[in-house]
Amino acid sequence: MIEIGWALPGAIAIPYLGMIAALLVPRRIPRSGWGIAAISLSITVAVSLPVALEVAHHGTLRFQFIDVFGVAVVPFLADGVSATLVVVNSTMMAGALVYTRTEGPRGTLFYTGWLLLAGSINGLAVIGSLFYLVVFLEITSLTIITLVAASDKEGATFAAIKYLFLAASGGIVALLGVGMVFVRTDSLLLSELPDAIAEIGYTDPQLQVAFGLILLGLSMKIGLFPFHGWLADAHAAAPDAVSALISGAVPALAVFVFLRILVTGFTIEFLATHPTLVTVFLYGMVGIMLVGNLAALFQRHIKLMLAYSTIAQFGLVLVGVALVNETAFQGAIVQMAGHGFAKGGLFILAGMLYLRFDARTIDEYAGVAKRAPLLAGTFVVLAISMIGLPPTVGFIGKWYIALGAIEEGAFLVAVLVVVSTLLTLGYTLPFINAMYFRSDREDRTERPGVTRGMVAIVVTAAALGIVLGLGSRWIVEVLVIT
């Protein structure tokens, strides 16, 4: 019987092998790229599901390649969060691929890039080495740049170049931090770092600087304020399927990388011994949460609104982390997972409304509900999940973060989490109001192209937002980083 641990490198290798096939096979069999990508991602989902079930029932799964000398070469690690992220990411990318079959983009460059991105994101989730985390993060960034630049929209190349500059800079900064960790601890294995760091001491200046550099580098890659300039441009210029990944999966994985380094490598005790750093980090993330929401409040273009909302939502996730509290930490993880479904679904849905009605702005959304009631209703459910209203998973995440803030005596933070929810309501409600309560445009024309597969994707995302909210007790127990 094949050991289930082999599924961890398999989640990386299968998309990579599919990438090679998508590059070579279309030369002999034209138009085969989409099918190769769809099969590769479907197999990846099938391989990763048993891992998620194994972790849910028996806890953390560890696996490593061993060379002939008996030395570990590449370590793999799957806990409740990482195993779930592999399933969610592979499913999201397979779903978004359904959208691209009609709307595009297409071609060898896109399909190879799509599969390279899938394998690299899965690598981020299950790798157990600090060095390989940075390597996969760089591959992910470069692939996103290529996918954004592949768009034929005006400004796509400029947006890709902006992200290239920030991503490269962030990668250098993070790699410098990783190098400092290695110099100080003589190890990059996440399983060895806790003991090594504890032995050196949590107050060691070099480790403090290294942690700060890693955090700064990842912030640049996520697009947190003030490094958010590339994010809005990339969303506006990128194909809708790529936007869904940029906003839903990629920031979640970047935040997960930070959590993996913090929890598994440095450990929570590292933050607990630096209360001043924690306070600065906490209120910095509160500021990012509010700035992102305020920026979204003034947007009339759906993709720009969702882009700035992403900044706010991941500011909120990091608020949960910065509270250094188990309740808030659980809320941050739930919020991170729930946001992926909600935001990814909203971006795909925004693309569908554009495909059918040529609608991107609030004014262009007027009266859409009368012509497409199912799409409008799905938009409302996904928006409710993003806002954080019961019974959706978005509510559970924010509720736990607010409770964690109250437990720590940070009542102002709890209030600002509620304010953030109200601001989110403020910038989603105008689109809903336009769809349901404004008169349809007389010059509106409908175009074909929205398929049943597309509808199934967004309806499933909306349903998951509710199901995960109702099953929140089980989710909180499963989504654990070790």
Which single residue is written with the structure tokens 């299950």?
126
Enter the pTM of the model. Answer: 0.85
| Tens of each residue's pLDDT in the chain, 482 residues | 357 888 889 999 999 999 999 999 988 888 888 999 999 999 999 999 988 888 888 888 888 876 545 555 788 988 888 888 888 888 888 888 887 877 767 788 888 999 999 999 999 989 988 888 888 988 888 888 788 776 666 667 777 777 777 777 888 888 899 999 999 998 888 888 999 999 998 889 999 999 889 888 887 776 665 666 666 666 666 777 777 777 766 777 778 888 888 888 888 888 888 888 888 889 988 998 998 899 999 999 898 898 888 888 888 998 998 888 888 888 888 888 888 888 888 988 988 898 888 888 998 899 899 989 999 999 999 999 999 998 898 899 999 999 999 999 999 999 999 999 999 999 999 999 999 998 877 666 777 777 888 888 899 989 988 988 887 777 777 666 66
154-187 per-position pLDDT tens digit:
667 777 777 777 777 888 888 899 999 999 998 8
| Residue 248 pLDDT | 66
CA 446 – CA 387 distance, rounded (Å): 29
- Domain-by-domain residue ranges, the chain? 1-128, 153-266, 274-482
| Residue 402 pLDDT | 94
User: Among 414, 219, 423, which Cα is nearest to 328's?
Assistant: 414
178-207 per-position pLDDT tens digit:
999 999 998 888 888 999 999 998 889 999
Buried b (16+ CB within 10 A) or exposed e, 8-35: bbbbbbbbbbbbebbbebbeeeeebbbb
| Residue 384 pLDDT | 94
| Residue 68 pLDDT | 47
- Which residues are CB-neighbours of 66 under 8 A, at least 6 positions away? 72, 73
CA 95 – CA 91 distance, rounded (Å): 6
